[in-house]
Structure 1
Amino acid sequence: MTHTSPHAAHDHGAHSVHQHGQQQDADDLAEILDLDAEVLADHIASITAWLPVEAAPRHIVDLGSGTGAGTFALLKRFPDAEVTAVDTSTSHHHRLLEKAKSEGLAGRVHTVLADLDTAWPDLGTPDLVWASASMHHMADPDRTLRQVHDTLAPGGLFAVVELAGFPRFLPEDAPEDRPGLEERCHAALDRHHAEHMPHRGADWGPMLTAAGFTVEGERTITVNLGPPHTEAVGRYALGGLRRMRGSVAEALTVEDLTALDQLLDTDSPRSILRRDDLTVRTERTVWAARRT
């Protein structure tokens, strides 16, 4: 669960700007994570309901917890459990703890700040470990799988949830002047991720088996929501495409980049927020593996 640290700027003014940019990026990501949890709440709940637990877990670890989508779904599914949320981001933890406090769950949530690529923290002996959209970020996922195996209580369950890329929102014939734009953005993003995150889209079943787990189930959930869509879906699409732009801008034609920027301009009549034909389309696959 690595993250890239920026090179320190010698000029204090430049450093301050860089810090501000980092904070803005963290805030934008946190908002997307919150919107993901809101828009896809029913699908996350269906995954937690499907988990083949032998007994209701009392101690759960959420690896790469973000702002708590998995944490709160698991707390709802298992009302007697406590969750240890592990993440590299202090701002994500702060947001998660604020939500826990507002929902009266502060006593059931604990946070651990850690980069699992550098050091494995003491996480106790959990009955269930949950890793949603975090395993493909690991520099050495095989090592992480072995560490999870050794951390789990005997008979404990490891749930690996991975997404088939970021959701798609636009119809295939949109926008009107550059139909297929979103698909071209995704193709460029896939090329970018293939270089920087080679484990994205991996089949985790064989790797879980190699780490000593018994894979007890695999399930793919197809998401296709709307139209009509909620206001949150519009903001979800806006935030996701904004983040995507940073990775794909250099790979797009001038015409595609112009059309993308019009979608991202909230003051433009072509803003994605003004569209009434958005859908949320993606897939999530979950592997349930037991330490025997």
Structure 2
Amino acid sequence: MTPTHGTGGLAGDALGAADVPAGDPGAEYDAEDRAEDRSEDRAEDRAEDRAEDRAEDRAEHPAEQEAELHADFLAEAAHWLHGLLGPADRATAAVRRILDVGSGPGVASRALAEAFPQARVLAVDRSAALLARAEARAAEHGLADRITTQQAERPEEFARSGPVDLIWTGNVCRHLGDQQAALRSLASALRPGGLLAVAERGLPPRFLPRDIGIGRPGLQARLDAAVEEQVTARRSRLPGATSVVEDWPCLLASAGLVPAGTRTFLIEFPAPLDVPVRRHLHTRLHGLLADVGERLDLVDRLTVEQLLDGDACTGVLWRPDAFYLTAVTVHTARLCRPLESA
């Protein structure tokens, strides 16, 4: 298990204020130059304000909040995949086409593009809004010419762009009725020798002590149990829902691939948390209450409401004991020969 620490992009005060660089006190200009400079400064200020507004808008979307927290893990995972594909020079040269399935706001797409600088990445998701964020993120990091997007919803659409050298998919199969069929669709998009990386499950996020001083101890465990019940209920209603043992190396082998390795990445932000992590936890708790609140008893629902109280010292936005700890497991497999047609 590899720990991933750091607060890349997460440090900041409660108001999100940024330091304003001081001007050069020794500079002397005539009136015309000063007016021109003030105009340029105002334009720069407006551009900075728009950038801050865009950052604030991104922070409001749960998928983007979580993706930002996982950015370091995604970069490390991309580096690990680079190593699985062979020596650095050979892997870099060999990987020219990458598919990011379930790309969301494009954080993984960026990590893959940076790890494989000669590759083009196609970000695939069913959300047009998140694909727009992926495009904006690529442009912000100078990757617009190498990261493109495609909207798709069904597994059979995954193979339209093939053959590709590397496929990354994060938490996609769990939302599809027939997970084995989804893996076959992904495998059909690989070229011989290509690699499929499937990030599924791991450990759910932990962010509260067992006893938080309000309600009954063990709230987090009961929330996890309610989520599992909800996931099971939803999976049973998915089109083509098929029950399988979620042994991912075995599922990958059944899709005609050869398992190439599994690795678990630890994502940790210890207490006390920076504001962006707290905001994500607040958003997460709000979503949990809306999603599984009916599965909780009255005491637990009231406890979650207290944790959501932005003005209370017992709320997650202010608690000194709040932390963030989760683990993501990535399973990989290669296509060693073309799949036989059915």
Q: TM-score range, shorter-chain basis?
A: 0.7 to 0.9
Cα distance in structure 1, aligned partners of 2:207 and 2:198: 25
Aligned to 1:176, what secondary structure does the other structure show?
A: coil
**How does the TM-score come out when normalised to structure 1?**
0.84
Distance 1:236 1:223, change over 3 A: same
> Residue 217 of structure 1: which of 261, 264, 275 is its match?
261
Runs of 4+ in 1 over 4 A off after TM superposition: 27-30, 117-121, 198-201
Report 1:58-77 matches (<5 A). Answer: 58-77=96-115
What's the offset of the Cα at 1:167?
1.0
The sequence identity of aligned pairs, in percent, is: 35
Cα distance in structure 2, aligned partners of 1:134 and 1:175: 37
> Residue 182 of structure 1: which of 191, 199, 220 is its match?
220
Cα distance in structure 2, aligned partners of 1:188 and 1:28: 28
8 Å CA contact 1:171, 1:277 repeated in 2: yes
Partner of 2:240 in structure 1?
A: none
What's the offset of the Cα at 1:201?
9.0
Tell me whether 1:286 sits opposite 2:330 in the alignment. yes
What's the offset of the Cα at 1:207?
0.7
Aligned to 1:192, what secondary structure does the other structure show?
A: helix
> Residue 264 of structure 1: which of 302, 308, 318 is its match?
308
**How does the TM-score come out when normalised to structure 2?**
0.72
Cα distance in structure 2, aligned partners of 1:200 and 1:175: 40
1:134-158 per-position Cα deviation (integer Å, ceiling 9, x unaligned):
1211122212211221211110000
Point out the more displaced range, 113-122 or 123-132. Answer: 113-122
8 Å CA contact 1:133, 1:163 repeated in 2: yes
8 Å CA contact 1:34, 1:67 repeated in 2: yes
What's the offset of the Cα at 1:90?
0.5
8 Å CA contact 1:129, 1:157 repeated in 2: yes
8 Å CA contact 2:59, 2:65 repeated in 1: no
8 Å CA contact 1:48, 1:74 repeated in 2: yes
Tell me whether 1:53 sits opposite 2:92 in the alignment. no
Q: CA RMSD in A?
A: 2.2
Cα distance in structure 2, aligned partners of 1:58 and 1:161: 21
Partner of 1:240 in structure 2?
A: 284
Distance 1:34 1:175, change over 3 A: farther
Tell me whether 1:206 sits opposite 2:239 in the alignment. no
Distance 1:69 1:279, change over 3 A: same
What's the offset of the Cα at 1:247?
2.1
Aligned to 1:157, what secondary structure does the other structure show?
A: strand
Tell me whether 1:276 sits opposite 2:317 in the alignment. no
8 Å CA contact 2:211, 2:217 repeated in 1: yes
What's the offset of the Cα at 1:121?
5.6
Paired amino acid for 1:151: A
Aligned to 1:163, what secondary structure does the other structure show?
A: coil
What's the offset of the Cα at 1:70?
1.1
Partner of 1:102 in structure 2?
A: 140
Partner of 1:41 in structure 2?
A: 71
Cα distance in structure 2, aligned partners of 1:90 and 1:243: 21
> Residue 173 of structure 2: which of 125, 131, 135 is its match?
135
8 Å CA contact 1:170, 1:277 repeated in 2: yes
* Structure (1 or 2) with the larger CA radius of gyration: 2
Distance 1:232 1:30, change over 3 A: closer
Cα distance in structure 1, aligned partners of 2:60 and 2:118: 27
8 Å CA contact 1:33, 1:69 repeated in 2: no
Cα distance in structure 2, aligned partners of 1:117 and 1:139: 10
What's the offset of the Cα at 1:222?
3.0
Aligned to 1:154, what secondary structure does the other structure show?
A: strand
